[in-house]
Amino acid sequence: MVHVGSLLTLIGAVILLVGVLLLPTPKVSCVGTLPGDIEIKKDNYKIYIPIATSVVVSIVLSAILWIIRYFSKR
């Protein structure tokens, strides 16, 4: 069985690699702006609060983790 620390280190390394690969392309967005996201633009600043995007990402990750957990118990 894989130790939890090793698994977390691997997941962190994958996230780091994806982040480094996306640095040169700041305009790439997998999800985009959803209707529930809040965007406030003023003269000197811009505030973006991705509420709907966060909910969608949370649901997708929860489903993926539930599937992994379901099949790992078999």
Domain boundaries, the chain: 4-72
pLDDT digits (tens, 9 = 90+) for 10-41: 888 988 988 887 777 766 566 567 888 888 99
Distances (CA, A) of 32 to 16, 28, 35, 56, 64: 21, 9, 10, 11, 21
| Minimum mean pLDDT range among 5-14, 30-39, 40-49, 59-68 | 30-39
Share of residues in the chain with pLDDT > 90 (%) = 12
Distance CA 35, CA 22 (A): 24
pLDDT of residue 30: 61
- Please state whether the predicted TM-score (pTM) of the whole model is above 0.75: no
pLDDT of residue 2: 62
Distance CA 36, CA 73 (A): 36
Q: With residue 48 as reference, give the H or E element that holds it.
A: strand 46-49
